[in-house]
Amino acid sequence: MRDEIAYADLIRRTREQSLLASCAELLAWDEDTYMPPSGAEHRAAQLALLAGLQHARATDPRLGDLLAAVEGSPLVADPDSAEAVNVREIRRGFDRQTRLPRGLVEELARSASLAERAWAEARRAADFRRFRPWLEKIVRLKQREAESLALTPDPYDALLDGYEPGARGDDLVGLFDALRRELVPLVNAIVYGRRRPDTAFLRRPYPVQRQRAFGEAVAAAVGFDFRRGRLDTTTHPFFSAVGPGDCRLTTRFAEDNFSDGLFGILHEVGHGLYEQGLPAEDHGTPLGEVSSLALHESQARLWENAVGHSRPFWQYFFPAARAAFPGALVDVALDEFHFAVNAVEPSLIRVGADEVTYNLHIVIRFELERALLGGDLSAADLPAAWDEAYRHHLGVVPRDDAEGCLQDGHWAAGMFGYFPTYTLGNVLAAQLVARARQELGDLDGGFARGDFGELLGWLREKVYREGGRYSARRLIERVTASPPDHQPLIDELRRKYGELYDI
């Protein structure tokens, strides 16, 4: 009985911490969507205060006492039970947070808030010099965070572990090298092949309001519940999980770019479907959360690419697209359109990159952010290092800093270690889709009829409802009968693009 009382108190405190985190999440969402520029200083102070309060609660010695009272008790004897999962993950968070000084946590929150504003202004001006002092400060703070956590001699590991528990930088080097060996020859075969799609019509006028209406219709059709979510615009697309009935998606639109807005929506919808599929009754506890950012990214990439870039998807949606944009698509056939939205071309912008070259963008960011944290690359030298990496890996060079090292806001937000989860997500997504096809059969026939419920139901049952019960590796093994493996991704890219480009 005593351990049950301790566990109930532990969960009560954890849910209160979750409420504080949701307040910070809402403030951060507002900062990137509707907050007026002059509110930046005050918002930074708000976020710093909340970060300090969260840290104080997360490191309260009473939490340690409650954990000690429950650990080893019959209550957690089954390692997959709700009690065992929650205790395990609360312990992990408690041990991690107690290593971090409260002052550092508050300063990181304050600085990241101001740095994001400086990054947005520098990006608009295409001038890295405006952001450089903030990047230098963020790097110093993240180095201090890594030193405090001290998981391994490599400071990158401590930050990566915050997004992908158990992952290590050296392991990622092996994965990225394997992908590079497979992807570079495929890219070259496509680039120097005989077939080329006509993509000019994707740059015709697409009125922004119609893009938004069409994107919202697509999001609803694949299963996103707008009674429990909304869509807004921002500089760099993201999602915010404010609570079990409140999931915020963002995208950006350009009148002369059909793909950017729509596929940005589908990417964030993948995140949103995951959040809306988590067990609401466990919200505020680790069991009600995702255990891995790579799992989260797997859903964004799955719905964006495996579904949204497929021909059956457009077999269903293309008539609606032509009706929404008659001036742009009146003379375009379905196969032309499908080929165009799957065009492969080495490019500068990650969020607009095709499936084949996308992971090379992540390789670049992984290598650069690891060098920044390790002290092998100074912030001052980042633009030149970025340009050289793009020339080497993709054969393209940015015209300015906005196309180069200022295109992502992750480093301004202090999110060092996040980028690899995109590629890990691609790997897991390919495995999940391959398994779903084995178990469900003709998914493409359903897509062509506008039926996405079968796939969504399968994902809800196999992935979403499990919440944080299993690590990413264990969940993938349970669902696909295989550990994480990049080969299904390579096989699917070869199949799909081999057919499109006749190689």
Phi, psi of 239 (to 5 degrees): -130, 155
Contacts of 291 (CB under 8 A, 6+ apart): 89, 165, 467, 468, 469, 470, 471, 472, 475
State the total domains in the chain: 2
Burial of 189 (0-12, 13-18, 19+ CB in 10 A): middle
Identify the CA nearest to 227 among candidates 208, 250, 244, 251.
244
User: Which of 150, 184, 210 marks a domain boundary?
Assistant: 150
Residue 363 lies in a domain: yes
Same domain, residue pair 369 and 251: yes
Residue 162 lies in a domain: no
For residue 243, the domain's CATH number is: 1.10.1370.30
Q: What is the pLDDT of residues 363-386, one digit of tens each?
A: 999 999 999 999 999 999 999 999
Residue 178 lies in a domain: yes
Same domain, residue pair 131 and 214: no
Q: Label the pairing between strands 239-243 and 229-233.
A: unpaired
Same domain, residue pair 196 and 331: yes
In the chain, the largest separation of any two C-alpha atoms, in whole Å, equals: 73
Phi, psi of 117 (to 5 degrees): -65, -45
User: Which of 150, 181, 196 marks a domain boundary?
Assistant: 150
Tell me what pLDDT residue 400 has. 97
- Helix axis angle, 334-341 relative to 311-324, nearest 10°? 110
Question: 135: which DSSP letter?
Answer: H
b/e per residue, 361-394, with b = 16+ CB within 10 A?
bbbbbbbbbbbbbeeebebeebbebbbebbeebb
Specify the DSSP element, H or E, that contains 21: helix 2-33
Same domain, residue pair 60 and 189: no
Hey, what are 446's tokens?
Answer: 């359903």
Identify the CA nearest to 369 among candidates 360, 359, 382.
382
The model's confidence at residue 236, banded by pLDDT at 50, 70 and 90, is confident
**Mean pLDDT (whole number) for 333-345:** 97
Same domain, residue pair 108 and 192: no
Tell me what pLDDT residue 301 has. 96
- Provide the domain limits for residue 45: 2-150
Same domain, residue pair 351 and 470: yes
Please, which residues bridge with residue 230 across strands? Answer: 248
**Mean pLDDT (whole number) for 24-42:** 94
Mean pLDDT of the chain: 96
Same domain, residue pair 130 and 242: no
The model's confidence at residue 41, banded by pLDDT at 50, 70 and 90, is very high
CA distance 423 to 154: 21
Identify the CA nearest to 62 among candidates 16, 10, 20.
10
Same domain, residue pair 194 and 133: no
The count of other CB atoms within 10 Å of the CB of residue 322 is: 16
Q: What is the pLDDT of residues 249-308, one digit of tens each?
A: 999 999 999 999 999 999 999 999 999 999 999 999 999 999 899 999 999 999 999 999
Put residue 166 in one of left, alpha, beta given phi > 0 → left and psi -120 to 50 → alpha.
Answer: left
Residue 156 lies in a domain: no
Hey, what are 322's tokens?
Answer: 């032509």
Spatial contact of 321 and 214, defined as CB atoms under 8 Å apart: yes
Residue 268 annotated in active site: yes
Same domain, residue pair 374 and 323: yes
Tell me what pLDDT residue 151 has. 85
CA distances from 385 to 46, 132, 303, 368, 382 (A): 35, 14, 33, 8, 5
Q: What is the pLDDT of residues 100-159, one digit of tens each?
A: 999 999 999 999 999 999 999 999 999 999 999 999 999 999 999 999 998 899 999 999
CA distance 497 to 398: 26
Tell me what pLDDT residue 424 has. 97
Residue 6 lies in a domain: yes
Residue 23 lies in a domain: yes
What is the chain's percent helix, strand, coil content, to nearest 5?
Answer: 70, 5, 25
CA distances from 119 to 124, 235, 361, 406 (A): 9, 10, 20, 7
Tell me what pLDDT residue 324 has. 97
Residue 202 lies in a domain: yes
Our measurement of the distance from residue 235's CA atom to the centroid of its chain's CA atoms, rounded to an integer in Å, reads 16
Same domain, residue pair 123 and 175: no
Contacts of 424 (CB under 8 A, 6+ apart): 164, 167, 175, 294, 297, 298, 472, 484
Burial of 79 (0-12, 13-18, 19+ CB in 10 A): exposed
The model's confidence at residue 1, banded by pLDDT at 50, 70 and 90, is low
Same domain, residue pair 111 and 251: no
Same domain, residue pair 118 and 211: no
User: Which of 99, 120, 150 marks a domain boundary?
Assistant: 150
Residue 388 lies in a domain: yes
User: Which residue among the candidates 31, 89, 268, 289 is catalytic per the annotation?
Assistant: 268
Our measurement of the distance from residue 88's CA atom to the centroid of its chain's CA atoms, rounded to an integer in Å, reads 24
What percent of the chain is predicted at pLDDT more than 90?
Answer: 96
